[in-house]
Amino acid sequence: MRQIFRALTLLVLAAVLLTFTACTNPAETEETTPAAGTTDSSPEGETEAPWQDNLPELDFGQQEVRFISRDSDWVRGEIAVGEQTGDLINDAIFNRNIAVEERLNLKIKNYEIPGGNYVVSEEIRTAVKSGTDDYDLLANSVYSTIMYTAENLFYNLYDCEYLDLGQGYWSQGFNDAASIGNAQYMCTGSVALTLYRYMFVTFFNKNLFESNNMDNMYDIVDSGRWTIDRQYEIASGFYRDLNGNSEADIRDRYGFLTTNRAYIDAYWSSCQLPILTKNADNYYVYSPDKNRMVMAVDKILNLWYNCPGSYIVESVSDAADQIAGAAALAEGRAAMATLRLVSVESSELKNMADSYGIIPIPKLDELQERYYTFLHDQFTAFAIISTVREEKLQMMGALLEAMASESAKSVTPVYYEIALKTKYVSDEESGRMLDLIYDSIYIDAGVLYTKVLSSVHQQLRTIIRSKNNTVVSTFKTLDKIIEKQLGTLNESIAAIQG
């Protein structure tokens, strides 16, 4: 998808001025195939209209298509907005929907449901069980939705004539992870801004690095030396007792600051720690690499609890954790902080006096060939609800396809190239790093289906919070349970495929 961004940048910039704006699985073996991948799927050399879809001329006679989505921070307005406001992203989404509605001669209606991710999922489960036809398309956090696949809540997307999931504006890494057997029930791609907002990255305060005569962080990343151990070394030199109370507390300066809940998840990808792979029939295989996990946990524990320059904030909530990290970075109390990329839109960073840079989460070690990016499991994915009448199925596929291609054409460049690289990020090197980070997104099916697999990916949180490397004992207890749960998942989904 990188080609999409670069081919469109000048076109979008001109329009703005006129209007005012598959990688291999770390545990791949001869017996299994990847159950995960990266998002950069466009063929090499493809630069001419990479957003172009293959939809024919279609006319759906002004029929209404009803989305159900979340009404919560960071995702509100992702599907539809009520009016133009002058905000670049808001207006890009507004114009996208107008273009799609006119092209297909239909109307888009979005019902934003307050109350969190599970409220949307439960609403659909209730609707399907009762046979009510209140919604057509679901746009919700993947982890709280895909776990209900075996309940036959969604259509097989392969049955949609006009939906071409092989196009570059759909995430091929997600397709690799989410497809199962001969079907796929959810998809995501350019239509979801959360694919960008929910990437875990490392922010660093450039002014603090310069005043402490630290090495250039971009050079360290480019040379492949950006590892957990290297982060320890760098962080060690920054501690200052700013408030003079002779105690290490949140008001002091640290080399590295993070919180002890969701941010731990980032190490699953950044350290190449697989959970699931696939067999020859495209069903899931439980494939954790325990030795690598032990090594990763040793390094993480050392960075978090032994480094004199590290400070670990007790987690309160996703929103509070973001604010705490962004505020520490902006106020010069953290030289480095782990955050979701959405922090660039926060008041803390927009009003930050110092300059900041963005780089990936560090690798496990220098032997690891590349960097990998973890997406917070609340990113948005899409599904066609099984209560949709069969004669409307092709309209649903056409709408998703048109929205994805139009998003790649007119929304993604505005957010990625203009908002991220120009409005929020202050240097070209961080813009280049954003390409690296996005192209390195790694999605493991074990994270997608975690809630029906004993919350397997959250076990790393428990281990790190315990301050002890209990990988062996933790998974010795869990392995048989997860194997059984995975067998049930595979069998249940195979049953609905017939």
Residue 98, in any domain of the structure: yes
32 and 114 both lie in a single domain: yes
Backbone torsions φ then ψ of 110, nearest 5 degrees: -120, 125
Same domain, residue pair 383 and 350: no
Whether 187 maps to a domain, the answer reads yes
Copy the structure tokens of residue 106. 């239909």
- Please tell me the distance from the alpha carbon of residue 467 to that of residue 461, in angstroms, as a whole number: 10
Domain identity same for 150 and 259: no
Confirm if 168 and 42 have CB atoms less than 8 A apart: yes
At residue 330, the pLDDT reads: 97
Do 95 and 178 lie in one domain? The reply is yes
- Hey, what are 309's tokens? 């320059």
213, 284: one domain: yes
Q: What is the pLDDT along the chain (498 residues), one digit of tens a residue?
A: 444 444 444 343 333 333 322 333 444 434 455 566 665 434 333 445 667 999 999 999 999 999 999 998 889 999 999 999 999 999 999 999 999 999 999 999 999 999 877 999 999 999 999 999 999 999 999 999 999 999 999 999 999 999 999 999 999 999 999 999 999 999 999 999 999 999 999 999 999 999 999 999 999 999 999 999 999 999 999 999 999 999 998 999 999 999 999 999 999 999 999 999 999 999 999 999 999 999 999 999 999 999 999 999 999 888 889 999 999 999 999 999 999 999 999 999 999 999 999 999 999 999 999 999 999 999 999 999 999 999 999 999 999 999 999 999 999 988 887 777 777 777 888 889 999 999 999 999 999 999 999 999 999 999 999 999 999 999 999 999 999 999 999 999 999 998
Q: Are strands 336-340 and 284-286 parallel, antiparallel or unpaired?
A: unpaired
Q: Under a CB-based contact definition with an 8 Å cutoff, are residues 288 and 273 in contact? A: yes
Distance between alpha carbon 488 and the CA centroid of its chain, in Å?
27
209 & 285 share domain:
yes
Residue 151 is assigned to a structural domain of this protein: yes
Gap between the Cα atoms of 344 and 356, Å rounded: 10
In this structure, is residue 436 part of a structural domain?
no
Is residue 434 situated within a structural domain? no
**pLDDT at site 36:** 65
Q: How many domains does the chain have?
A: 2
Give the Cα separation of 307 and 234 in Å (integer).
Answer: 10
Q: Is residue 321 a part of any domain in this protein?
A: yes
Looking at the fold, whether 176 and 134 belong to one and the same domain comes out as: yes
Measured distance CA(8)–CA(168) in Å, rounded:
14
Rg for the chain, CA atoms, rounded: 22
Which has the closest alpha carbon to 274: 472, 26, 99, 460? 26
Name the burial class of residue 365, with classes exposed (0-12), middle (13-18) and buried (19+) by CB atoms within 10 angstroms of its CB.
middle
Contact (Cβ atoms closer than 8 angstroms) between residue 35 and residue 276: yes
CB-based burial, 227-247: b 16+ in 10 Å, e otherwise? bbbbbbebbbebbeeeeeeee
Angle at 494 between CA 490 and CA 495, to 5 degrees: 120
Does residue 430 belong to any structural domain of this protein? no
CB of 172 closer than 8 Å to CB of 41: yes
Other CB atoms within a 10 A radius of the CB of residue 181 amount to 16
CA distances from 68 to 15, 109, 281 (A): 31, 9, 33
Say what the pLDDT of residue 72 is.
86
What is the pLDDT at residue 416? 80
340 and 404, same domain (yes or no): no
CA angle 33, 35, 36 (to 5 degrees): 120
Are 121 and 259 within one domain? no
How many CA atoms are closer than 13 Å to the CA of 148, on its beta-carbon side? 22
Rounded to whole angstroms, the Cα distance separating 321 from 259 reads 6
Distances (CA, A) of 333 to 204, 414, 471: 11, 32, 32
Listed as own residue / partner, the contacts of 465-469 with beta carbons closer than 8 Å and 24 or more positions apart are: 465/260, 465/264, 467/301, 467/305, 468/301, 469/294, 469/297, 469/298, 469/301
| Residue 263 burial by Cβ neighbours in a 10 Å radius (0-12, 13-18, 19+) | buried
23 and 69 inside one domain: yes
3-state SS, residue 305: helix
Does residue 99 sit in helix, strand or coil? helix
Q: Is 131 exposed, middle or buried (0-12, 13-18, 19+ CB in 10 A)?
A: exposed
What count of Cα atoms within 13 Å lies in the side-chain half-sphere of residue 154? 27
Cα 382 to Cα 326: distance, rounded to the nearest angstrom = 30
pLDDT of residue 73: 86
Residue numbers of the domain that contains 248: 200-374+445-497
Task: Judge whether 439 lies within some domain.
Answer: no
Same domain, yes or no: 191 and 204: no
Name the burial class of residue 65, with classes exposed (0-12), middle (13-18) and buried (19+) by CB atoms within 10 angstroms of its CB.
buried
User: Could you say which DSSP state residue 387 is in?
Assistant: T
Instruction: Report yes or no: 439 and 4 within 8 Å, Cβ to Cβ.
Output: no
- Torsion, Cα 117 263 444 362, to 10 degrees, reads 150
**For position 108, which CATH number holds?**
3.40.190.10
User: Which residues touch 298 (CB under 8 Å, ≥6 apart)?
Assistant: 469
Same domain, 185 and 224: no
